[in-house]
Amino acid sequence: MRSRTRTGVLARTVAVVALFVLAGCSSGPATIEQDPDTGRSGTSASAPAGSDGAQALRTKFRFFTQDACYSADPAEAFGRCARFTTEIRNVLGQVRQDVPAATAQADATEQALDGFASAGCEAEPGTVGGGDPATCAPAYRQVQEAVQGLATAVGAPR
- Threshold 0.85, pTM exceeds: no
Mean pLDDT in the chain? 77
How many alpha carbons fall within 13 Å on the CB side of residue 75?
2
Task: Report the Cα 131 to chain-centroid distance in Å.
Answer: 26
Q: Which of 95, 82, 59 is nearest to 129 (CA)?
A: 82
Mean pLDDT for 128-144 is 90
Buried b (16+ CB within 10 A) or exposed e, 80-89: ebbebbbbbb
Q: Which of 79, 82, 88 is nearest to 61 (CA)?
A: 88
